[in-house]
Structure 1
Amino acid sequence: MMRWGQLFKRKDLQHLVDELANENRLRRVLGPFSLTALGVGCIIGAGIFVMTGRAAAEDAGPAITISYTVAALGCVFAALCYAEFAAMAPVAGSAYTYAYATLGEIFAWVIGWDLILEYAMACACVAAAWANYLNEVLRTTLGEAWMIPERFCSDPFTTPGAWFNVPAVAIMLVVTIILIVGIRESAATNAALTLLKLFVVLFVIGLGLTMINKDNWTEVPYGKRLTTAELKVNAVIADKLKAEKEKAAEGTGKPAAKLTKAELEQVKVDAEYVRAKLAYDKAEQMKVDMVKAGTLTDEQADAEIAAAKETLDAATAKVQDPSQFDATIAEINKAALEATAEKWGLLGAIISPERLKPLDDAFRTNYTPYGISGIMLGAAIVFFAFIGFDSISTHSEEAINPQRDIPIAILASLVICTILYVLVAAVITGMEPYFEIDTKAAIAAAFRKQAELTGSKVLGYSSILIAAGALAGLTSVMLVTFLSQARIFLAMARDLLLPPAIFGAIHPRFKTPHISTALTGLVICVAAAFTPISDLEKMVNIGTLFAFVIVCVTVLILRFQNPDMPRPFRCPVIYIVAPAGILVNVSMMMFLPLSTWIRLVAWMAIGMVFYFAYGYRHSILGKELVHELAKEGVSPTDGPLPS
């Protein structure tokens, strides 16, 4: 029979504070600068160097700056709640520890399991993206011939013929060794990398502001917006041609011939026609939708159609039989409709996307080409970039003066990075039209394109510096997320929810959880090498948003449960801030795809299996409950008393 009391048994908050006197604690060596550097080091990286370009090109357009503001708003509310709790209970564990003290063991396990998505899998995502900027460095310094072949930089599930992401594995091995050596060395490495990438970010903003074309923000017709399917037109046409060759080779005993140079050139011409036809069809549909919504006049719509028709006529003249692409265009249009519906995420699965479409049209302008759904989905995607500030709270146990330094570091890192994010997003979307942004290495590629266009050697050298800075930025993100994950496992092992011999062992010399770090590093290497990253990113985001919601809930509950507990830092207007944090973060979750929610449920189900197989049976609070029942003369309902 189940011991239901154990599932909701809470860890006494005073007990958390008392644990700080234990000799087997982590070394207190981090001051406010180091803690802020940890936060900035984690925040600045994936967002600026990876997420911004793709989210701007495919989800939000120039309004990516609004997306960052929405994401930051959710983080501000959660940050204030994190700061209050981290100052009250400056021990390792972050949201896991907070949930254990307020909601009970089962919720603590759920959050602890969820944080694996936030930290370990986020680290895997960034490691996989690291290869793209490594190739950008090689391309700008040594030439394309020196770039690592795609089959060694991609996962085999999304790139046919790929082996695995070799650079991701290599950099993760280096990061694992650094983290095993010690927190002081890790902090020093991170501080150096953080200073380097801060310089690069400020350099990008300063130089990029001189090359902004404001027309890219407000004058690019929103009919230019592209879906993922439209961005892959070249690949779709090339794949069809390859399939035709493979079919022709069947039965001959010979392999299908590779595409010739002439055929590859024809693919480009054909793709140009397909894109022009899609743009023309979109312009005609736009007249129906936008004029009805009142965001476009008949004259403006007719001008868009005329311009699209002119481009289509020029492209049509270059292809032999336009009708041969009718099926391809139909497939892409179908995928585009599905992609548009997916922008509404779970909300679109609950409410018909057709009923939500007028809302999108009402918000659609040249600055907001994808409408309100694009802005919110963009916020949910770039939210990945804000996981750094809460990682500070996982290092409370290593802070010299946690009651003062943790709140300062959390809020300072969030404010600094939000300002930098918005500025860089404005630069990227101002330097080139959003639909032309390189989705793999947006910033470095933007400067490289400008260098190629103008022949400027200064810009050429700048793109090298930016790509190198991006590598440093991504590396520091891996350091902090990986470091945070090990601390979460350590906290769970101390409560015996995880095997302490593995996850709770502290190296006698380095004072780091070395076994846990090595094991986690191995898992992250496998995930980064073989996992499709795009879906994993959404899993990281929904896991992080879920954790933020729980933190807002727990701090609010604790104000009622234990109002007299000393609070070195008090969240201002908690009865407004906490509910607002819940509302904003849940809203972003609602715009993530239904498939992501399904994966989250599946992940949590797997976690429940692990909990009842080990944690439930070995938990310290579970043992205490059984002994309490025994003292009261109540027979335990779950087997013999633990020894």
Structure 2
Amino acid sequence: MSIKDKIWQKQSLEKYLAKDNQFIKSMNAFDLMALGIGAVIGTGIFILPGTVAALKAGPGIMLSFVVAAIVCSLAAMCYAEFSSAMPIAGSAYSYGNVIFGELIGWILGWALILEYMLAVAAVSTGFSAYFSSLLQGFGLAIPKIFSGPFDPAHGTYINLVAIIIVWLITWLLSQGMQQSVRVNNLMVIVKISIIIIFLVVGVFYVKPANWHPFLPFGKIGILQGASTVFFAYLGFDAVSSSAAEVKNPQRNMPIGIIGTLLVATALYILVAVVLTGMVSFRELDVANPVAFALQKVGQNWTAGIISLGALAGMFTMMVTMIYSSSRLIYSIGRDGLLPKFLGQLQGKHHLPQHSLLVVTVIISFLGGLVPLDQLTSLVNIGTLVAFTFVSIGIIPLRKHTEIQHDGFHVPWSPVLPIISAIACIGLMLTLSLETWIASLIWFVIGLGIYFSYGIRHENIS
């Protein structure tokens, strides 16, 4: 087989289903929504509504969240159809292999590796910072040498808390999905409960006068705000990685993905409404706008609870992303594009322990030793590349002779999938030149690995 034939060969869905059949199907729609909400609702809900209102949209930030949700829902529906039609591990990577061919599948997988691992590493450092602040409230402190990335000039050598929390989550995931799902569901309930506490307390301090002027930056402010808060919704796509471990995926996958987006949208809008009603939007350009607003109205005890909500939010996000990363690496190893030991399931729980271990080591290194401030924007481009191909992929999916599915269908196809792809490309064009250069380097490295190793060891054919 020529190289050209190899890079465009497509995997058989039946082969994927047979390979992934060893997974234990234990998750239902509620579990999927908890995974999705765990990934989507993080610290951003306590920060973005305030800062974006102050700088871009004013009280109209609530409409920005609606616009962003509409754009995001287009991609969400495309993911819902794919996961319903193809209940396999690997998310966009596996979809790309079946629909577009091996090379596109690899590019999508490489993009998702960037998204998942970098996102967890960045959040682990945020968790460390919040945890340190919490300890300081009790008069305790982590030694400076263990409080940041390797930077001897500033007295830090390793971010110990970031490493510990990643390994703790990995230990949890290694105990089986039923146990992991129970803990994740509990943490999601805690997080949502804390958000509801803020809404219930804050609504009594709302002054309608604070909503005037509603659009101080004009209508363009709504769109500028939407382009910023769009990234607050990212993470629902990770739910599709679990398709091989879900009961009745044709029904539960669309509920999990679309349900995640609906709940997240409702919570973001409600927080934006209450927050901008409590305090003038002009005062919200601070690092912790929700806690600031509560302190301003004398609710200091509630502001303290918000810190716990932030910790719970970051914990559940890391659970979902580490889980999704391990399933992604398993899927690529399953196809031989990475070493095949990564594509094996081990233990009584039939889990990809090898891929989980490799993922954890890489994330620990990034979160514990590497300054990530300049790299987190790469998460966005990795996500949008996957969104674009999944959206376009709906068109050939419908024409695929091997795939006959009776599950969820994106309405008004191919119009909505095309609009979704155009919207994603438009958002990619708003990213900085530095982000594009860094991502180009990442994809060049990925293609180097594919052509030097993957194409010679693949077992797709």
Match of 2:6 in 1: 6
The question of 1:478 aligning with 2:328 is answered no
Q: Is the CA contact 1:136–1:444 (under 8 Å) kept in the aligned structure 2? A: no
Q: Structure 1 residues 525 and 55, CA, compared in 2 at 3 Å: closer, same or farther?
A: farther
Q: Distance in 1 between matches of 2:204 and 2:4?
A: 64
Match of 1:319 in 2: none
Match of 1:30 in 2: 27
Q: Is the CA contact 1:381–1:541 (under 8 Å) kept in the aligned structure 2? A: no
Q: 1:188 aligns with which of 182, 189, 211?
A: 182
Q: Is the CA contact 1:46–1:477 (under 8 Å) kept in the aligned structure 2? A: no
Q: Report deviation, 1:443.
A: 2.5
Match of 2:134 in 1: 137
Q: Report deviation, 1:47.
A: 2.6
Match of 1:586 in 2: 425
- State the secondary structure of the residue aligned to 1:210: helix
Q: Report deviation, 1:186.
A: 1.0
The question of 1:389 aligning with 2:236 is answered yes
Q: 1:120 aligns with which of 117, 121, 141?
A: 117
Q: Report deviation, 1:42.
A: 1.4
Q: Report deviation, 1:165.
A: 3.2
Q: Structure 1 residues 434 and 135, CA, compared in 2 at 3 Å: closer, same or farther?
A: farther
Q: Distance in 1 between matches of 2:128 and 2:38?
A: 19
Identity in percent: 34
The question of 1:570 aligning with 2:409 is answered yes
The one-letter code of the counterpart of 1:69 is V
1:133-192 CA distance string (max 9 Å, x none): 3244345x53xx545577754446799444443322221121121112221111111000
The one-letter code of the counterpart of 1:480 is T
Q: 2:392 aligns with which of 553, 564, 578?
A: 553
Q: Is the CA contact 1:92–1:394 (under 8 Å) kept in the aligned structure 2? A: yes
Match of 1:39 in 2: 36
Q: Distance in 1 between matches of 2:204 and 2:171?
A: 41
Q: Structure 1 residues 53 and 474, CA, compared in 2 at 3 Å: closer, same or farther?
A: farther
Q: 1:511 aligns with which of 330, 341, 350?
A: 350
The question of 1:424 aligning with 2:264 is answered no
Q: Structure 1 residues 208 and 149, CA, compared in 2 at 3 Å: closer, same or farther?
A: farther
Q: Report deviation, 1:529.
A: 2.7
1:230-258 CA distance string (max 9 Å, x none): xxxxxxxxxxxxxxxxxxxxxxxxxxxxx
Q: Structure 1 residues 443 and 148, CA, compared in 2 at 3 Å: closer, same or farther?
A: farther
Q: Report deviation, 1:588.
A: 1.8
The one-letter code of the counterpart of 1:182 is G
The one-letter code of the counterpart of 1:437 is L
Match of 2:202 in 1: 208
Q: Report deviation, 1:53.
A: 4.7
The question of 1:539 aligning with 2:378 is answered yes
Q: Distance in 2 between matches of 1:51 and 1:553?
A: 30
Q: Structure 1 residues 510 and 435, CA, compared in 2 at 3 Å: closer, same or farther?
A: farther
Gaps of 5+ in 2: none
Q: Is the CA contact 2:394–2:414 (under 8 Å) kept in the aligned structure 1? A: no
The question of 1:198 aligning with 2:192 is answered yes
Match of 1:448 in 2: 295
The one-letter code of the counterpart of 1:48 is I
Q: Structure 1 residues 491 and 121, CA, compared in 2 at 3 Å: closer, same or farther?
A: same
The one-letter code of the counterpart of 1:511 is H
Q: Structure 1 residues 173 and 51, CA, compared in 2 at 3 Å: closer, same or farther?
A: farther
Match of 1:80 in 2: 77
Q: Is the CA contact 1:71–1:382 (under 8 Å) kept in the aligned structure 2? A: yes
Q: Which residues in structure 2 correspond to 1:157-236 (within 5 Å)?
A: 160-219=154-213
Q: Distance in 2 between matches of 1:185 and 1:492?
A: 26
Q: Report deviation, 1:50.
A: 4.8
- State the secondary structure of the residue aligned to 1:537: coil
Q: Structure 1 residues 46 and 159, CA, compared in 2 at 3 Å: closer, same or farther?
A: farther
Q: Is the CA contact 1:42–1:476 (under 8 Å) kept in the aligned structure 2? A: yes
Q: Report deviation, 1:444.
A: 3.1
Q: Is the CA contact 1:16–1:91 (under 8 Å) kept in the aligned structure 2? A: yes
Q: Structure 1 residues 608 and 571, CA, compared in 2 at 3 Å: closer, same or farther?
A: same
Q: Which residues in structure 2 correspond to 1:485-500 (within 5 Å)?
A: 485-500=325-340
Q: Distance in 2 between matches of 1:177 and 1:118?
A: 22
- State the secondary structure of the residue aligned to 2:27: coil
Q: Which residues in structure 2 correspond to 1:358-397 (within 5 Å)?
A: 366-367=216-217, 372=220, 378-397=225-244
Q: Report deviation, 1:584.
A: 1.9
- State the secondary structure of the residue aligned to 2:312: helix
Aligned residues: 461
Match of 1:229 in 2: none
Match of 1:463 in 2: 303
Q: Structure 1 residues 460 and 583, CA, compared in 2 at 3 Å: closer, same or farther?
A: same
1:540-588 CA distance string (max 9 Å, x none): 1121111111100111222234497223221111222101211222222
- State the secondary structure of the residue aligned to 1:10: coil
Q: Is the CA contact 1:46–1:385 (under 8 Å) kept in the aligned structure 2? A: no
Q: Structure 1 residues 376 and 151, CA, compared in 2 at 3 Å: closer, same or farther?
A: farther
Q: Report deviation, 1:615.
A: 0.8
Q: Structure 1 residues 529 and 53, CA, compared in 2 at 3 Å: closer, same or farther?
A: farther
Q: 1:601 aligns with which of 421, 429, 440?
A: 440
- State the secondary structure of the residue aligned to 1:490: helix
Q: Is the CA contact 2:60–2:222 (under 8 Å) kept in the aligned structure 1? A: yes
Q: Report deviation, 1:91.
A: 0.9
The one-letter code of the counterpart of 1:520 is V
- State the secondary structure of the residue aligned to 2:88: coil
Match of 1:352 in 2: none
The one-letter code of the counterpart of 1:85 is F
Q: Is the CA contact 1:379–1:588 (under 8 Å) kept in the aligned structure 2? A: no
Q: Distance in 1 between matches of 2:190 and 2:153?
A: 33
Root-mean-square deviation (Å): 2.7
With 531-540 and 473-482 compared, the bigger mean Cα shift is at 531-540
Match of 1:69 in 2: 66
Q: Structure 1 residues 612 and 564, CA, compared in 2 at 3 Å: closer, same or farther?
A: closer
Q: Which residues in structure 2 correspond to 1:247-286 (within 5 Å)?
A: none
The question of 1:91 aligning with 2:85 is answered no
- State the secondary structure of the residue aligned to 2:344: coil
Q: Structure 1 residues 531 and 53, CA, compared in 2 at 3 Å: closer, same or farther?
A: farther
Q: Structure 1 residues 617 and 478, CA, compared in 2 at 3 Å: closer, same or farther?
A: same
Q: Is the CA contact 1:376–1:588 (under 8 Å) kept in the aligned structure 2? A: no
The one-letter code of the counterpart of 1:3 is I
- State the secondary structure of the residue aligned to 1:536: coil
Q: Structure 1 residues 49 and 164, CA, compared in 2 at 3 Å: closer, same or farther?
A: farther
Q: Report deviation, 1:388.
A: 2.8
1:174-222 CA distance string (max 9 Å, x none): 11211122211111110000111111111112222222344544359xx
Q: Distance in 1 between matches of 2:232 and 2:120?
A: 12
Q: Distance in 2 between matches of 1:550 and 1:149?
A: 46
Q: Which residues in structure 2 correspond to 1:629-640 (within 5 Å)?
A: none
Q: Report deviation, 1:460.
A: 2.3
Match of 1:256 in 2: none
Match of 1:637 in 2: none
The one-letter code of the counterpart of 1:479 is V
Q: Distance in 2 between matches of 1:207 and 1:43?
A: 23
Q: Structure 1 residues 504 and 441, CA, compared in 2 at 3 Å: closer, same or farther?
A: farther
- State the secondary structure of the residue aligned to 2:415: helix
The one-letter code of the counterpart of 1:616 is I
